[in-house]
Amino acid sequence: MSISIGKRILLGFVAVTVVIVALGLYAIGQIGVVRDTTDAIVSRDLAMARQFDDLANKARDMGLMRRNAVIAVLTRKTDAQEINRALDGWRGAAGDADGIFTSLNRSAESYAENATSPARAAIWKRLAQNIADTAAQFRQLRTASEAQISAITARDADAVEARNEEINRQQEAVLRGIDRGRDVLDEGIVAGQRAVQGVYESSRLSILGTLAACALLSILVTILISRAVVRPLSIVMDFVERVGSGDLSGALPARGNDEIARLSRTLNAMVGGLAELARTNRAATADLNAAAAEIRASAQEQAASVEEQFAAVQETAATVDEITHSGAQITKRAGEVIATAKATAQTSRQGLRAVADTAKAMDAIREQAEAVAGNIVTLSEKTQAIGDIIETVNDISERTHLLALNAAIEAAAAGESGRSFAVVAAEMKQLADQAKAATVQVRGILGEIQRGINTSVMLTEEAVKRAATGKTRSDTTQRTIEEISARVEENVQTFQQIVASTNQQQLGIEQVMGALQNIRQASQQTAAGTREVEAASANLTELAQALMALAERYRH
Amino acid sequence: MSARGAEERSAERARILRAERTAALARRGAAQAARPATRYLVCACGPERYGLSIAVAAQVLPIQVLPMRPCTPVPGAVPALIGLAALSGRMVGVLGLARALGRGIGDPGPDGHLVALKGTAQPVALAVDRVLGVASVDDEVVEPPSAAGGMGGEAVSGYCPAGAEGAALGDFLVLDLARLLRRALP
């Protein structure tokens, strides 16, 4: 069914309301009918009863007047005026009674035509008949009475007496007819009451039936609404209770397009969001727990460091106190240093003179070393010349060797006669070999001499360089000592400034002491704050663990 | 003082030389009378020494005193021939002794010696590292080539051991020039 629940409920209420409104309108109509009927009965019957009463009164009045006139005649009254007045009254009453009869008859007939019920119509007809009969009797009575009245007028007492019996009897008949008419009218009233009762009964029955139908309709509508709303709602309620108890794992079936389906979809989305939220919440709570633990550890560290800071401030205060004492000593020592520096300046001037002498001596050493180097170079050149000579000797000895060999060959070629020559050649060769060996030795010695010369040259050059370096260093020393003198002078001024600065420092240290006092107070406040932070972080940790337990409730 | 010392040392050296010469002359007469001897030119070639009969040598001269181009290589020549050199106006073939003996130790340097030979079919000179001197050795002292161990191959005809009389320059192998030339110049 694609009709939404709201429309279904609205439809049911509209149906019930329509039935109730129709019932009300019908009831109002029936009440109107009853009232009209009652009105009609009351107005008609009361008017009719009043006319009957008037008629009876008139009849009695007529009888009374007639009897009075009869009595007056019979008693020989002579007052004609009184008799005439009674007769005129009788006549007037007779005319009125006749009019009333006519009126009654007309009313009864008209009522019989548009009566509220057949019974009433019959009653009205009987009444009309009764009225007609009574009117006929009344007319007979009137005729008889007219005759008696004529007798009365003629003062004929006998005639009056003769007719009196007959007239009385007729009058009684008329009165009885009127009473019968009253009885019929009473029956009509009873019939009217019955008709009203019938209308009331039929109206009550129909209203009761309609009420029962309305109740049935309401029950039907309620059942339909219950089927359409309450059962799905109970499913949703169960689901919501499960969600409330922490089970976020389920989902509602969401078919159709009515409110329950929309509610199911919305709830599914909400539960999905809740599950996501629970996951996020659990992760965030874990993070929060870790962060709270970190905060607590940090707070504890901070507390420790604040205590260290406090101790450090105490130490600093002690140190500053020492600085105050040492400042006084600095002032005293600075005065001593000034005196020492002046003595140092004097000493450095003496040092300057000594360094100048040293520089001159270094120059002399350098000149001498250069002269030695020149001599050694000359010696080296001589040694080179000796080497050349040795080369020449070597060459000569080589040639002599060959010459001796060739001489030996020639001596061999000469045979026996060359034998002595061969001996000479052998001696020559031996000499040449010895000369060659000697040149080799000399060459070795010369090499050693050359190496020694080279070493000496290098050493001399090194000596020259060192002398030059010494000279440079002496110059540097001289400049340094001059700078030292200048610095010492500066130092004297500086120490004088130091004395002044130390005095200012004492003032500054007093301010530092004040500041340290402030720092100490601040440290105490910080320690108190840190303890509060620690307590708060402990609370936070408990809270985070409670949150963790809370988050554990949700399964997803 | 030092001049006088040098003078004394030279006088002493001259006296010693004269005494040795006298002794040598005295030995010569006695030895010659006893046994026949051969004189060899002892040449250094690499680590070995070779003795060449002095009778086949014509002249000893240094390689470096040859004219401008000491040795002209000859294309297509035998392996032992280093090249050609002009010697006293004649074209002389220069044989490397090391090459001729088949020893792979290279040619002599510029301070080596040439030994010009005589009595050969064509003018030939042997290039050696150095001619050390002349040794006069008794023929009996020279051992046969079978005992020489084949150093130099078939061109070696004997071995003169060290310590033999006249072999003051150390032991050496005796070369047979004819066989050497046959082998080097086929």
Write the CA distances from A552 to A248, A275, A286, integer angstroms.
12, 12, 11
In a mutagenesis test of the B interface, which of A402, A403, A406, A409 is the best target, namely the one with the most B β-carbons within 10 Å? A409
In a mutagenesis test of the B interface, which of A399, A405, A428, A430 is the best target, namely the one with the most B β-carbons within 10 Å? A405
The pLDDT of residue A289 is above 60? yes
pLDDT confidence of residue A448: 92
Are A423 and B28 within 8 A, CB to CB? yes
pLDDT confidence of residue A227: 81
pLDDT confidence of residue B1: 46
| Range of lowest pLDDT (A67-76, A132-141, A537-546, B25-34) | B25-34
Same topology between domain A5-229 and domain A284-553: no
* Residue A17, H or E segment: helix A5-74
- Average pLDDT of span A439-448: 91
Q: Which CATH class is domain A284-553?
A: mainly alpha
pLDDT confidence of residue A416: 82
Q: Using CB atoms within 10 Å of the CB of residue A115, give its burial: 0 to 12 exposed, 13 to 18 middle, 19+ buried.
A: buried
Contact B45, B128 (CB under 8 A): yes
In a mutagenesis test of the A interface, which of B113, B115, B129, B134 is the best target, namely the one with the most A β-carbons within 10 Å? B134
Question: Who among B24, B54, B62 is closest to A402 (CB)?
Answer: B62
pLDDT confidence of residue A306: 86
Cα distance from B185 to chain A (closest Cα, Å)?
A: 25
A110: left (phi over 0), alpha (psi -120 to 50) or beta: alpha
Q: Which residues of A touch B131 (CB under 8 A)?
A: 402, 405
Calpha distance B172→B45 (Å, rounded): 11
Calpha distance A288→A282 (Å, rounded): 9
- Comparing CA positions, the residue from A188, A198, A199 lying closest to residue A41 is A188
| B183 close to A (CB below 8 A) | no
pLDDT confidence of residue A556: 65
| A412 close to B (CB below 8 A) | yes
* CB < 8 Å from B in window 416-475 of A: 422-423, 425-427, 429, 431, 433
| B168 close to A (CB below 8 A) | no
The CATH number of the structural domain formed by A5-229 is: 1.20.58
- The tens digit of pLDDT for each residue in A87-101 reads 788 888 888 888 888
- Average pLDDT of span A406-411: 90
Greater confidence, A434 or B4? A434
Calpha distance A357→A346 (Å, rounded): 18
Q: Which residues of A touch B28 (CB under 8 A)?
A: 423
Are A402 and B113 within 8 A, CB to CB? yes
pLDDT confidence of residue B35: 62
Calpha distance B86→A48 (Å, rounded): 205
Q: Which residues of B touch A431 (CB under 8 A)?
A: 17
| A354 close to B (CB below 8 A) | no
Cα distance from A431 to chain B (closest Cα, Å)?
A: 9
pLDDT confidence of residue B4: 74
| A486 close to B (CB below 8 A) | no
Q: Which residues of B touch A406 (CB under 8 A)?
A: 59-61
pLDDT confidence of residue B148: 46
- The tens digit of pLDDT for each residue in A346-378 reads 888 888 888 888 888 888 988 988 898 888 889
Calpha distance B88→B114 (Å, rounded): 13
pLDDT confidence of residue B70: 64
Contacts of A450 (CB under 8 A, 6+ apart): A380, A383, A387
Backbone angles phi, psi at B86, to 5 degrees: -90, 125
The pLDDT of residue A530 is above 50? yes
* CB < 8 Å from A in window 51-110 of B: 54-55, 57-62
Q: Which residues of B touch A433 (CB under 8 A)?
A: 133
Q: Which residues of A touch B61 (CB under 8 A)?
A: 402, 406
- Comparing CA positions, the residue from A256, A268, A263 lying closest to residue A233 is A263
Domain ranges of chain A: 5-229, 284-553
Contact A57, A165 (CB under 8 A): no
- The tens digit of pLDDT for each residue in A107-161 reads 888 888 877 778 888 888 888 888 888 888 888 888 888 888 888 777 777 877 8
Query: What ipTM was assigned to the predicted interfaces of this complex?
Result: 0.75
- The tens digit of pLDDT for each residue in A224-241 reads 888 877 788 888 888 888
- Average pLDDT of span A319-328: 85
Beta strands in A263-392 (DSSP E): none
Cα distance from A430 to chain B (closest Cα, Å)?
A: 9
Calpha distance B64→A133 (Å, rounded): 212
pLDDT tens across the length of chain B (186 residues):
456 777 888 889 899 988 888 888 777 655 554 567 788 899 988 888 899 988 899 888 888 755 555 678 888 888 888 888 888 788 888 888 888 888 777 778 778 888 999 888 888 999 998 898 888 888 888 887 764 445 556 778 888 887 766 666 788 888 888 888 887 776
Contact A49, A179 (CB under 8 A): no
| B27 close to A (CB below 8 A) | no
